[in-house]
Structure 1
Amino acid sequence: MINEQIRDKEVRLISADGEQLGIMSSRDAMKLAQEAELDLVKIAPGAKPPVCKIIDYGKYKYEQTRKEKEAKKKQKTVEIKEVRLSPNIDTNDLNTKVNNAKKFISKGNKVKVTLRFRGREMAHVQQSKHILDDFAKQLEDVATVEKAAKLEGRNMSMVLAEKR
């Protein structure tokens, strides 16, 4: 809130150079801001009484957006990469998939390992669980199981995340 939008009876006022001016009515604070040819901006609306500061609102808004952009730059988004397997996968194919998963995890992503069952393979779901267990065992030096293997429809999947 700025200038006339501030409807509180009393506010704690801070001057443009950061000096505490004390508690006063919002009208008096508005007059001081107009004399300084600056804006009265409510900084902490939750405080008792609310804290207002005499500053250039355009400059303040610009500084805030710049800080938000800086914070966004430093954030890292974690993607979930998927590795699909089938119950009758060969050891060399499995090793290739493990290497791909290692690459994804080293880049800081999570890996969802999906074991897909088709047709008659649904009759041997429990015998195929060992494939996911082996996959996790081969990656245990770089990753931990974040979400254990679970059957969802025709797919059994688990999520691996980077070891901390």
Structure 2
Amino acid sequence: MVIGPDGNNLGRMSSRAANELAASYSLDLFCVAPNANPPVCKILNYGKYRFEKQKSERAQRKNAKATQLKEIQLHISIGEHDLRTKAKQSVKFLEDGDKVNIRVVLKGREMAHQDLGEELLKRFVGVLAESTPISIERPPFWEGKVYSSIVSKKKK
């Protein structure tokens, strides 16, 4: 099956006849679907075709941004304004499409008050939820002296 340079279906023909037809147009014969029955070939300028394909691949790579994991670290003695500032920064990360790892770090004797760390994390997630819809990727859990959770922006 051969498709002409203007997109018209020229029907079935031998490969020799198709090559001669392409040469008469000063173009190339390119097999678009070699596994089809019969194979589909198109008469086109192969250099231009390859350039357009590379251009579209570059545009796709440019638009496909990998999500990153950003980290916000809190301490149980954090002030309300500082908490809101960190929440504001987290919202920026979420708006950019990144995930945010929220970590509450306890030091020394603060380990005796783990409930304060849990309360701070819940309060921080609440402040985030006021600003933007979020989903919790990984529920809060303890790992050593750190209470952490991962959140991302809720998909529409």
The TM-score, its normalising length taken from structure 1, stands at 0.73
Matching of residue 144 in structure 1 with residue 139 in structure 2: no
Q: Distance in 2 between matches of 1:132 and 1:45?
A: 58
Flag structure 1 segments of 5+ consecutive residues without an equivalent.
Answer: 1-11
Q: Which residue of 2 aligns with 1:9?
A: none
The answer to whether the Cα contact below 8 Å between 2:117 and 2:147 also exists between their aligned partners in 1 is no
Partner Cα separation in structure 2 for residue 154 and residue 16 of structure 1: 68
Distance 1:123 1:45, change over 3 A: farther
Deviation per CA, 1:66-122: give whole Å up to 9, x if none. Answer: 223344454455443221113443434323322222333344443221223445555
Letter in 2 for 1:158: S
Q: Residues of 2 paired with 1:116 and 1:46: CA distance? A: 59
Is the CA contact 1:14–1:52 (under 8 Å) kept in the aligned structure 2? yes
Q: Give the conservation status (yes or no) of the 8 Å contact 1:110–1:161.
A: yes
134 and 42 in structure 1: CA distance in 2 versus 1, 3 angstrom threshold: same
Q: In structure 2, how many angstroms separate the alpha carbons of the residues matched to 1:75 and 1:123?
A: 45
Deviations, residues 128-151 of structure 1 (Å, cap 9, x unaligned): 222211111111131313312233
Stretches of structure 2 that go unaligned for 5 or more consecutive residues are none
Out of 145, 150, 154, the residue aligned to residue 159 of structure 1 is 150
**1:113 is matched with which residue?**
102
Match of 1:35 among 8, 19, 24: 24
Look up the SS of the partner of 2:38 in the other structure.
Answer: coil
Distance 2:144 2:41 in 1: 58
Q: How many residues align?
A: 153
- Take 1:97 and 1:76, find their aligned partners in 2: how far apart are those partners? 24
* Aligned residue number for residue 7 of structure 1: none
What RMSD in Å do the two structures reach over aligned CA positions? Answer: 2.8
In the alignment, residue 151 of structure 1 is paired with which amino acid? W
Tell me which residue corresponds to 2:121.
132
